[in-house]
């Protein structure tokens, strides 16, 4: 489709009066420029391969487990990369540390006694937060009822003592 009898199209003069025809060869690059361009292409290729490998690994990972492993490893001061390999162990250590920090024997005596039984402990160790909060709510409600009952008893005594004083 090219006809060699047609003269090449030339571009209008550019800055400095340079005219370049479309058929003229590209300017030659020196060795340093070629080396730079090759290294840039190689770096882009390496970056692309690294990104693809990272995405393949990330897609194979459960995001919830990854976030939990990250949180637990930072909390326990362990390397983040190793945390996902044994997330069950990290959960157990974190739960035991929380029980110690909460002083479970004094703050949750019923749960503490229940965890002493292997059958219950096997099923409930990983639900410590929920069970602990439930027991604490129960304690608060019981204290509230006791306070209310004491208040009513004190009121009846005061009213009864007041009525006894009126009748005498």
CA 108 to chain centroid: 29
Mapped onto helix, strand or coil, the DSSP state of residue 83 is: helix
Length of the chain: 168
Q: Give pTM, 2 decimals.
A: 0.42
Residues of the chain with pLDDT under 70: 1-3, 8-27, 60-61, 81-84, 161-168
DSSP states of 2-20: --TTSPPPBPPP-GGG---
């Amino acid at each position: 489709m090219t006809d060699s009898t047609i003269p090449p199209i030339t571009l209008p003069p550019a800055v400095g009066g340079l005219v370049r025809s479309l058929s003229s060869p590209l300017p030659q690059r020196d060795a340093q420029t070629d080396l730079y361009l090759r290294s840039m292409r190689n770096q882009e290729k390496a970056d692309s391969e690294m990104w693809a490998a990272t995405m393949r690994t990330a897609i194979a990972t459960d995001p919830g487990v990854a976030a939990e492993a990250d949180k637990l490893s930072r909390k326990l001061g362990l390397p983040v990369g190793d945390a996902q390999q044994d997330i069950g162990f990290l959960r157990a250590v974190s739960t035991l540390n929380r029980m110690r920090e909460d002083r479970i024997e004094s703050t949750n005596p019923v749960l503490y006694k229940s965890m002493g039984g292997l059958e219950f402990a096997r099923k409930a160790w990983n639900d410590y937060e929920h069970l602990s909060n439930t027991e604490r709510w129960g304690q608060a409600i019981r204290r509230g009822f006791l306070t209310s009952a004491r208040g009513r008893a004190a009121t009846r005594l005061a009213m009864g003592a007041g009525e006894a004083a009126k009748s005498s």
